[in-house]
Amino acid sequence: MNAADLIGFVVHEARLIDEQRFEEWLDLFTEDGRYWMPLEMGQTDPVLQQSLFYDDKLLLRIRVERLLGARTFSQKPKSRCHHVLQTPVVDESDAAANRYVTYTPFHYVESRLDEQTLYAGWSRHHLTMIDGALRMKLKRVDLVNPDSAFGNIQLFM
């Protein structure tokens, strides 16, 4: 596994979200994969501390199916989103353990109706190779301001 492959994965993953190709995006997670957005800086416990997201694949699938629903009124009209990524850094690359971790500062805009909201943070992708393809065991998204009051966050960072 070289750095270009890992970086390419992270860039592709953000693009799938921005293009709302959510079925393909879900396929990037391992079956036990998690999407985690802590509520506190430096948080280490997702279970007995509160988080903004701590979704397994079923919870992510509920969100994705909901976005497509005919009676999903908070998506009438729909939201759109946009990522700007800093070049990812490979923090860990351990082929023997099949464990790879990248670090990616980002800006993310979510937009609906006349509003667009800017979020900033750092993503950490915990990746593993399954059947010749990289998959996410964990995507951890730390916002610069997780303790701020937010309106609806309806898509994925």
Partner 1 sequence: MPDYRTDAGALRALVRETEVHRDVYTDPGVFALEMERLFANTWVYVGHASQVANAGDYATTTIGAQPVVMVRDHTGVVRVLHNRCPHKGTKVASEVCGNTGRLFRCPYHGWAFRTDGKLHSIPLKEGYDNTGIEATAAAQGMAPVRHVREYREFVFAKINDGGPDFETYFGDALSSIDNMVDRSPVGRLEVAGAVLRYMHRCNWKMLVENLTDTCHPMIAHESSAGTATRLWKQQPEGTPRHPAVEIYAPFMSPYSFYEAMGIRIWPNGHGHTGVAGSIHSNYSAVPGYFDAMVAAYGEDRAKAILDINRHNTVYFPNMTLKGPIQTLRVFKPLAAHRTLVESWTFRLVGAPDQLLERTLMYSRLVNAPTSVVGHDDLEMYERAQESLHSDANPWVNMQRLYDPAERDQETAVTNGTTEWQMRNQFRAWAKFMAPA
Do 33 and 138 form a contact (C-beta atoms < 8 A)? yes
Q: CB of residue 153 vs partner 1: minimum separation in angstroms?
A: 5
Q: CB of residue 31 vs partner 1: minimum separation in angstroms?
A: 13
Q: Which is nearer to partner 1, 87 or 152 (CB)?
A: 152
Q: Which is nearer to partner 1, 9 or 55 (CB)?
A: 55
What own/partner pairs with CB < 8 Å and gap ≥ 24 does 2-5 have?
Answer: 3/90, 3/93, 5/134
Reduced to 3 states (helix: H, G, I; strand: E, B; else coil), residue 124 is strand
- Distance of alpha carbon 139 from alpha carbon 54, whole angstroms: 10
Residue 51: Cβ within 10 Å count = 17
Site membership for partner 1, residue 145 (CB under 8 A): no
Q: Which is nearer to partner 1, 118 or 133 (CB)?
A: 118
Residues 18-77 that bind partner 1 (CB under 8 A): 37, 39-40, 47-54, 58-59, 61-63, 65-66, 69, 71-74
